[in-house]
Chains A and B, each alone.
Chain A
Amino acid sequence: MPKLKFPMMAVCLATFAIGSTASAQEVRLLAFEGYADDAWRVPFEEASGCKVAVSYVGGVDEMFAKMAGSDGTDFDLVSIDTSLYPRYAEAGLLQAFDDQKLSNINNLLPAFQEVAAVQDGEKRLGIPIAWGSQGLIYDADELSDAPTSWGAMWDPENAQRVIALDDSNNNIVMAALYLGFDDPFDLTDEQMVQVRDKLIDLKGNLLSYYAGFEDGVAVWESGAATMMLSMGEPQLGQLRERGYNAVYSIPKEGAVGWLDTWALSAGAGDLDCAHAWADYSLRPEVGEVLNSKYGYGPTTMEAEGLDYADNLVWLKPVEDMDARVRLWNEVKAATK
């Protein structure tokens, strides 16, 4: 892959200067909220002597852009789901873990011991840490009938009370599931057009898009929403905390399921600290918090309240990410 460094360096001069100097005894995480909770970050720092620096992102595309933008040198570990391994591997952003440095690796449930998507032959590229879904959340106090289908998002009765995550892939997969397409991750051009029209159609019912976990809850609150294409289980807890009688449901068409992992950046600085953090994440008390506080399904124990794994459509690499972003921009630019 030929790279002309000169102009890029000019643009990113500042980023490089600040970002690429990893001091010793530090692990730099690029992660979604919840994966570096103080509940185990603080004990980890005390036990290992490694400082933890976390950058949170709101979406997988932003995450990839940040990794690719620095060739991975800005981060040591990145929390990516299984579908993204081909994309990251192709861009040369990953390196394998050393199992010798992972003393807790046997804590993983048998189903997560050797997930094909994160293995490169014998080499382990990823360590599963949690799984979850992107289901439908609704306010049971406001809706008389519990919605069973994604179609509720389009129901005129819910007009201006529906919100959706501002993310190309999640919306496209959701619409594809609703339209009954076989493989929502590999759509034909014709299916793409239908998905686009369906999503433009949805705009008429939508109050707003939102940009992350917290933002989704804030928009829900300030816009008095009653239904959302959620970003995941944590939003349920956050809404309930704010007094909404929110319910998490997987519609009959299915919903996106994902398995998040720690992947080791090709540009990682302190490999020992990075391994130490990934290993620490496999301790039972971490899985406990991930489940109880965020509602995720842990990979080291049976999940509490997560009985819908069979209804999920597990995330896979998509046919053409550029086309999906283009489609999404077209949807967002459409006037409705």
Chain B
Amino acid sequence: MTAHWFSVAIWRVSIWAFLLMAVLIPIAAFLVYGFFGVEGGSIVHALSLDNYVEVASDPVYRKVLGKTLRIAVEVSILCFVTGYIVAVFINRQRPALKYTLIFAVAIPLMMSYVIKIYSMRGLLGHTGFLNQFLIWIGLIDEPLSVFLFNLTAVRMTLVFALVPFSILTTFVGLERIPDATINAARDLGAGPIRIFWTIVLPLSFPSAVVGVMFTFVLSVGDFLAPELVGGVNGLTYGRLIFSQFGIAFNWPLGAALSLVLMVLSFAVIAVAGKLSNPRWLRREGP
């Protein structure tokens, strides 16, 4: 009895200690660092609001943040829609094929992100597959450079890299809808379109929204895809943060910039959390 109580206590303490070390202390460190400054390449540990003032007042940061958010929203919507279509298609297959396809969707998640970006370059580049294909079907005579090094390429790369999250979460939601529920709707006279909008979509949305959350949070903080396929206008907020940490060695300013992104991400996670746990899933009620 005592031994049991003791081991439970050890577990609890370890878990809290882990959370403290892995999550809370780094976040606290970020908060604190944001109030420091930099002089001559060294961090000055005097508290001031300068960094936050700079973040709030400098039009460069606002502009880049706006652009980054817009891309992230667009990427999330694209992932949601394409993820949905693919997940619906997969969910309709025979069980054996269904799980093979889902496994195939999950494989790219184990691949290196950088490799994916480089393969996008190979796909979209001057000598890439897309150009060769367009030349082959006779649509163009000369390879085009318009597919790469712009924001469209960034969007495509992010969608390509992140859509598995959407597919997987949506699939889980779709799979959980019992056949009987669909049959009940058909039995009451509903056609496929009505069933999709009134039954399938609302029932799978709580799962799908988790995928949207993943795609948004991952794309809003990304700095590799914009850097590598984004061309001259590929500067995103994540890259700005990177430039403060990795290039300018201005960690305090980087921390202040990160805080903005962190607050935004938490807000999105909170909203997604609400949406993924609607009132109808809960037992307590009116």
Residues of A within 8 A of B (CB): 1-4, 7-8, 10-11, 13, 59, 61-62, 64-65, 68-69, 87, 90-91, 160, 166, 168, 203, 206-209, 211, 215, 218-219, 221-224, 321-322, 325-326, 328-330, 332-333, 335-336
**Given A87-B41, A330-B60, A322:B250 Cβ within 8 A:** yes
- Whether B145 contacts A322 by the Cβ 8 Å rule is no
Contact of B45 among A2, A87, A325, A335 (CB under 8 A): A2
B71 within 8 A of A: no
Compute the total of residue contacts between A and B using a CB distance below 8 Å.
Answer: 120
| Residues of chain B within 8 A of A3, CB atoms compared | 43, 45
- Whether A218 contacts B126 by the Cβ 8 Å rule is no
Closest-CB distance, B285 to chain A (whole angstroms): 44
Q: Who on chain A is nearest to B41 by CB? A: A91
| Residues of chain A within 8 A of B60, CB atoms compared | 329-330, 333
- Whether A221 contacts B26 by the Cβ 8 Å rule is no
Give the CA-CA distance A333 to B64 in the complex, in Å: 6
Give the CA-CA distance A330 to B45 in the complex, in Å: 27
- Whether B250 contacts A208 by the Cβ 8 Å rule is no
Q: How many residues of B are in contact with the other chain, CB < 8 A?
A: 47
- Whether B42 contacts A61 by the Cβ 8 Å rule is no
- Whether B250 contacts A325 by the Cβ 8 Å rule is yes
**Given A10-B25, A166-B227, A221:B126 Cβ within 8 A:** yes
Q: Who on chain B is nearest to A61 by CB? A: B247
Most buried by B among A65, A221, A325: A65
B240 within 8 A of A: yes
- Whether B247 contacts A62 by the Cβ 8 Å rule is yes
- Whether B125 contacts A59 by the Cβ 8 Å rule is no
- Whether B235 contacts A7 by the Cβ 8 Å rule is no
9 contacts between A and B (CB under 8 A): A7-B29, A7-B33, A168-B247, A207-B231, A219-B149, A222-B128, A222-B148, A329-B60, A332-B235
Contact of A1 among B28, B42, B118, B239 (CB under 8 A): B42
- Whether B145 contacts A91 by the Cβ 8 Å rule is no
